[in-house]
Structure 1
Amino acid sequence: MNRIFKSFAVIALGLAGAATFTSCEDYLDKEPSSDISDETPFKDFTNMQGYIEEIYNCIPDKVKCYWTTSWNLGDDEISTPQAEAERTMQTQVDIGNFYAWQNNAQFWFAADKKNPTSLNLHDRRFYGNAWYCIAKTNLAIDKIDEYFVGTKEEKDILLGQLYFFRGWWHFEMMQFLGGLPYVNKTLSSGESPRLPRLSYLECADSVALDLKRAAELLPMNWDETTPGKKTFGKNELRLTKITALAYLGKNYLWAASPLMQHGAQTGGAHTYDYDQELARLAADAFGEVIDLVEKGKTQYELAKFDYTNVYDHQKSSGVEYSYSELFYTSRRNWLQPGGKEAILRGPTVAWNFTRWNYSRTFGPYEICERDPHFHLPTANYVANYGMANGLPLDDPDSGFDEKHPFKNRDPRFYHDIIFDGVKYINGEAKGNNAKFKYAGLATGGSGRDIANGSRTGYWMQKLVPHTANKIDGEDEYDKNPNAYVPYMRLADVYLMYAEACAVLNGPSGKSSKCDLTSIDAINRLRDRVGCGHVSTKFSGNSYMDEVRRERAVELAFEGFRFHDLQRWLLLTEPKYTRKTSQEFLRVSGADESFFAENDPAEAEVAEFREEEILTRNFDSKHYWFPLLRDDTYIYAEFEQNPGW
């Protein structure tokens, strides 16, 4: 952390104005006051908001931070066994090399790539930007009383953003690294950088203080404020009271979770043991958000899951913003995904970064033709998608039939997953490409080339539609494609509320801030997609399992699974360390004429089974990433995470 703390000290003496410098390294070479005076960035709302805009710009785009990226590190995904894929963070995690996070350019959290003013998404990674942005927030909080001239409303909005960002950058680092020094003051040039490394729970207390302040100060809707009217209609990425409350709840829920309460350990004995009081605080924060949303007092709402053709993500007439458009938009003038459901997004750019490599890393190489690194859903994870009646596949009353394994599944299965027989190419497929017209994902099928197709028996299309291929061209320039995966969306708030309330009193648990019970919150999401409600047969631990399964399905492939398994103390447990493929033989559709005339979900198969691809050899040390070695050499009290 030598570089980190040096940057704190220098920034404390100088100015971190948004238009002043192009990188942290460049700035450190300058005299502290060589560009502008101390007062300039903080003298009024316009200048200070410009200063804060640079913090927004530092938020990495998790899925497009490099040409070839990986962000799903749990049991949810596996890559093709290609040299390019072997370098990704997801593959490095599979082999237990957690040190790879520190210099992996393909990973959004990596420690390199710090360029705060750059509009190039490849210049943004989380770790280096986090310390830089925390220093900026501290400096601005210190200076606002000294220099700022403006209204109370303006000052509240500015401080609300600063407190939120100080808490948020710490919180995101804590998820990977555990407790850290909580830097909530500007460090002077002569100050020793021996800040204590706090426990996770001590850090969470400090995060909570900052997020509470932010929730009290931030507006519900920027468009309804006097400062916000100057940028009316262009405030959708800005922080609000809802953003702060939602992250306050998340901070409390993570602190309440088994890992933070019982420490890293194998065996899974404490997976259902949460801290009740912290869970209650989490439920109250989420409950306040949900109550405001349910009463129509915010601009946030759940996107519609209403399709004329769910396989092609074709939304019904009159749907303003579809479920698919939470992650990918096309033919909408480069509109950033997320809509009214997104609670936190960073800035992004559209065509170049969406088209090149990202949008075509979800399907077979021959018709996608990008770097040979494919995001493949594992069969073990796809098994989380239960039945349309709401029951899990292994429930004796579910109706799941191994002869018709794709029939009557949760509607999100058909939206998210490409399975055998789905029409993959809508246009004219000639020559060798004709074999991909209908997804040949049965054992030995045309799409089962391990290196260039699917090694799991599935492809995914939740985040990008299958029509983003070289024949259908849904990601070509004239379609105006844009892709983004939000850091948080409203559905996640309902899920976290359900989990926190389940800790308090199972399915009927609730917060005094909200009328919904835990099971009500889950059923809101199931009603959205047309899936059956959670069965009343589930209670206690079995109900918590259903809450967790719902989270796995609703948030699939959005980058949350690793942290969920981590905080539930399940990361090391056998069920969650295996990655499998789906093997079966076609009975229906051997000549593919069946799929031209029938719904592929109706197909009959034989010998339906899972086969292991790999098992991750994890132990208790893998619950946390290792700290940078250089950071731990600064002073003895800044200790490396256990086992590293």
Structure 2
Amino acid sequence: MRNKFIICLLSATLLFSCEEYLDKSPDMGLTDDEVFSTYLSFRGVLDKVYVLNTDWLNATHAGSRFCMGDEGITTASGSITRDMMSGNYKSSNTNLEIGWYTSQSMSSVANASIPMIVMAMRNLRTVNLCIERIDEIQDATQEQKNELLGQAYFFRASNYFEIIRRWGGMFLFDKVFTPDSDMDLPRLTYHESTDWLVSDLNKAYELLPTQWDEAQKGRVTKAAALALKGMALLYSASPSMCPENSFTSYNTDICKKAATASWEAIKFINETGCNRLIPGTTMESYLSIFYNRTKLASDEAIFYQIFPGGKRPISHWNANVVVNKMCAANVHCAAPTQNIVDLFEMKNGLPVKATGSTYNDQDPYTNRDPRFYYDIIYNMIKWGVNAGVDNYMELWEANTFDKKQSKWMQALVSTKYQPRNAYLVRKLWPETCNVWQNDYNYQQPSIYIRFAQLYLDFAEAANEAYGPTTVVPGTTMSAVDAINIIRARVGAVPVRSEFTVSKEVFRDRIRNERGVELIFEGHRWYDIRRWRIAENALKEIYKVYITRTGATSFKYEYILAPTYQYTFEEKHYWYPLPKTEMEMMANVEQNPGW
């Protein structure tokens, strides 16, 4: 069956913001009232918000979305990451993460060219128009109106959340602002902002369906509203959002709410079967969460963006994950840092640097957590087939054995920056996506929330509120239980008992588990900021320097990554508001340090 929702997304390039759409109404034979009076035209206006979201797998990002924070290294000189590494968040007003300006017209749906906050502001105006004018539809059933309202409330909450997790508590966007509106509004606290968006998610949950039919796959559901509610409350409870605790610890009362909310989402999904954890005991099964030949999105994906048409163009794969010479001529894909690779525990459940872990830094890829092999391409792994011959990823930089050059590390060399690192992203790169096999026949959505994250959200909130092993009131799980569910599905050993003796000890393992399970999915940068650990996490970014010493032997050295170090200070936990906006709104305070 053809997916009508994808057809809708494709047609969204013809949609305008309401103002420009209506400006053209005389030529189109439409009036203001007509646009909002029919179900299909009303839905067409609302559906633009599905397109104006950050598609972090788009070619424009050149792997940089994986390189925000300590996850990855990129040599893309004009990337999102390079602007942010300098510490001068005011250096580029068009930066897709921290910028506030775009030359794209109001009618544009070019989400790869519009900064996040500009998209969010446009979306907020769109959904507020739809909420205010819902009763003008003349040909919709009550069920259809409920579905439209549910989507509008969800996207009002989700876009507001994207703003506040970057800039902090903000004034309410609960109406359509006009040139005559009083914009001299005071900022709310982060907790107050979260309470408001949660109220919208509660409304969305009541109005949205549990599932859409296959032709509408990709629209948000009750599960999406519940999942985002738990995530938003967890953020609100986190140290960076808690001035009442001097930004040093969680708000345990909000943690209790967050744990309950995540549990409600987990319980709802398990009872209705609307989503599920994909089995992960084989690599093929686990990686089907992220790309698939036959499905628009896996059953684990809860809130996600489908690429119009389903299958991504080759340029998207090449720009983000496929190394030069295995594609056309790209040198900007991401490479994991040694910092993030070190998060993958040993098979026995111990951190690599723990006493008794059996880790050998000269044989570093043996007996690791199963997800290491699912997520990371490392030196001499078999990857791809060229004219019937298996290809092995040569990722060494030096050779004291013979004169042979490393094929793939040479492909990672940039004329401006040093080689990135001797790792590549396996998690998001199907093995057949290369210039030899030329098989890019995969569908890959940008996933914002998936079912596994709900267990991680629950565990973090539950641990802070009740400790590692106490079953949360009203649920059947403790924090440890939740983490072990995620570990068990990939065949990893349960959390070791020495890590569950206190919430402080277990906190580190929860954060480590989150870093491993959600690697390269757009969470890490926001996590280290809300945990208030970014200054330490970004202090030193490491890479591995590999020397070939024999036909099959190598020397591994772990060094600071040249030209790839962050400037991160206290003020960088929140992005600065632009000077022009500050001048317009006297009651809106600038973020500290800016």
Structure-2-length-normalised TM-score: 0.87
Question: C-alpha distance in 2, partners of 1:622/1:63?
Answer: 25
Q: Which residue of 2 aligns with 1:294?
A: 270
Is 1:198 the equivalent of 2:147?
no
- Once the two structures are superposed, the pairs formed by residues 207-606 of structure 1 within 5 Å of their partners are 207-222=197-212, 232-262=213-243, 271=248, 273-295=249-271, 297-307=272-282, 310=283, 315=284, 322-330=285-293, 332=294, 335-336=295-296, 338-349=297-308, 353-428=312-387, 437-441=392-396, 443-444=398-399, 446=406, 447-449=408-410, 451-452=413-414, 454-475=419-440, 480-538=441-499, 539-573=502-536, 575-585=537-547, 590-592=550-552, 606=555
Amino acid at match of 1:437: Y
Cα distance, 1:579 vs structure 2: 1.0
Q: Which residue of 2 aligns with 1:63?
A: 57
Maintained 8 Å contact 1:20/1:35: no
Maintained 8 Å contact 2:471/2:478: yes
Query: Which structure 2 segments of 5+ residues have no match?
Result: 1-10, 400-404
Maintained 8 Å contact 1:264/1:569: no
Q: Which residue of 1 aligns with 2:576?
A: 626
Identity within the alignment, % = 30
Cα distance, 1:122 vs structure 2: 3.8
Q: Which residue of 1 aligns with 2:566?
A: 616
Amino acid at match of 2:326: I
Question: C-alpha distance in 2, partners of 1:400/1:257?
Answer: 33
Cα distance, 1:341 vs structure 2: 0.8
Q: Secondary structure at the match of 2:130?
A: helix
- Once the two structures are superposed, the pairs formed by residues 169-180 of structure 1 within 5 Å of their partners are 169-180=159-170
Maintained 8 Å contact 2:94/2:102: yes
Query: Which structure 1 segments of 5+ residues have no match?
Result: 1-16, 223-231, 316-321, 593-603
Question: C-alpha distance in 1, partners of 2:413/2:521?
Answer: 24
Identify if the C-alpha distance between structure 1 residues 540 and 21 changes in structure 2 by more than 3 Å, giving closer, same or farther. closer
Maintained 8 Å contact 1:291/1:513: no
Maintained 8 Å contact 1:504/1:510: no
Amino acid at match of 2:545: E
Question: Is the deviation greater in 608-617 or in 281-290?
Answer: 608-617
Amino acid at match of 2:232: N
Maintained 8 Å contact 2:233/2:258: yes
Q: Secondary structure at the match of 1:343?
A: strand
Identify if the C-alpha distance between structure 1 residues 108 and 52 changes in structure 2 by more than 3 Å, giving closer, same or farther. farther
Cα distance, 1:104 vs structure 2: 2.7
Cα distance, 1:183 vs structure 2: 1.2
Question: C-alpha distance in 2, partners of 1:20/1:280?
Answer: 45
**What does the per-residue CA deviation read over 1:132-167, in whole Å, with 9 as the maximum and x for residues that have no partner?**
221122222222235556444333222211111111
Amino acid at match of 2:578: L
Amino acid at match of 2:333: F
Q: Secondary structure at the match of 2:154?
A: helix
Cα distance, 1:172 vs structure 2: 0.6
Question: C-alpha distance in 1, partners of 2:349/2:52?
Answer: 40
Structure-1-length-normalised TM-score: 0.81
Q: Secondary structure at the match of 1:529?
A: coil
Cα distance, 1:504 vs structure 2: 1.2
Identify if the C-alpha distance between structure 1 residues 484 and 536 changes in structure 2 by more than 3 Å, giving closer, same or farther. same
Q: Secondary structure at the match of 1:468?
A: coil
Equivalenced residues, count: 570
Cα distance, 1:282 vs structure 2: 0.9
Amino acid at match of 1:346: Q
Is 1:92 the equivalent of 2:83?
yes
Question: C-alpha distance in 2, partners of 1:350/1:21?
Answer: 17
Maintained 8 Å contact 2:59/2:320: no
Q: Which residue of 2 aligns with 1:12?
A: none
Maintained 8 Å contact 2:468/2:480: yes
Question: C-alpha distance in 2, partners of 1:485/1:108?
Answer: 20
Maintained 8 Å contact 2:98/2:575: no
Maintained 8 Å contact 2:15/2:107: yes
Cα distance, 1:643 vs structure 2: 2.2
Q: Secondary structure at the match of 1:71?
A: helix
Cα distance, 1:235 vs structure 2: 2.4
Is 1:635 the equivalent of 2:594?
no
Maintained 8 Å contact 2:466/2:472: no
Question: Which of the residues 54, 58, 69 maps onto 1:74?
Answer: 69
The alignment yields a C-alpha RMSD, in angstroms, of 3.1
Q: Secondary structure at the match of 2:438?
A: coil
Q: Secondary structure at the match of 1:96?
A: coil
Question: C-alpha distance in 2, partners of 1:25/1:137?
Answer: 13
Maintained 8 Å contact 1:506/1:540: yes
**What does the per-residue CA deviation read over 1:198-253, in whole Å, with 9 as the maximum and x for residues that have no partner?**
2222211211111111122222123xxxxxxxxx3122211111101111111111
Identify if the C-alpha distance between structure 1 residues 290 and 627 changes in structure 2 by more than 3 Å, giving closer, same or farther. same
- Once the two structures are superposed, the pairs formed by residues 124-203 of structure 1 within 5 Å of their partners are 125-145=115-135, 147=137, 150-203=140-193
Amino acid at match of 2:513: E
Identify if the C-alpha distance between structure 1 residues 427 and 448 changes in structure 2 by more than 3 Å, giving closer, same or farther. closer
**What does the per-residue CA deviation read over 1:292-339, in whole Å, with 9 as the maximum and x for residues that have no partner?**
2333x13201123243xx4xxxx3xxxxxx322332334x3xx43x31
Amino acid at match of 1:591: A
Cα distance, 1:424 vs structure 2: 2.7
Identify if the C-alpha distance between structure 1 residues 109 and 556 changes in structure 2 by more than 3 Å, giving closer, same or farther. farther
Question: C-alpha distance in 2, partners of 1:348/1:20?
Answer: 16
Q: Which residue of 2 aligns with 1:595?
A: none
Identify if the C-alpha distance between structure 1 residues 286 and 155 changes in structure 2 by more than 3 Å, giving closer, same or farther. same
**What does the per-residue CA deviation read over 1:466-524, in whole Å, with 9 as the maximum and x for residues that have no partner?**
4422123232xxxx233333011111111111111111122224444431221111111
Q: Secondary structure at the match of 2:177?
A: coil
Maintained 8 Å contact 1:58/1:116: no
Q: Secondary structure at the match of 1:627?
A: coil
Amino acid at match of 1:451: V
Cα distance, 1:610 vs structure 2: 4.0
- Once the two structures are superposed, the pairs formed by residues 10-25 of structure 1 within 5 Å of their partners are 22=16
Question: C-alpha distance in 1, partners of 2:395/2:306?
Answer: 38
Identify if the C-alpha distance between structure 1 residues 114 and 502 changes in structure 2 by more than 3 Å, giving closer, same or farther. farther
Cα distance, 1:290 vs structure 2: 1.0
Question: Is the deviation greater in 86-95 or in 462-471?
Answer: 462-471
Cα distance, 1:52 vs structure 2: 2.0
Maintained 8 Å contact 1:220/1:298: no
Amino acid at match of 2:454: V
Maintained 8 Å contact 1:386/1:409: yes
Amino acid at match of 1:563: Y
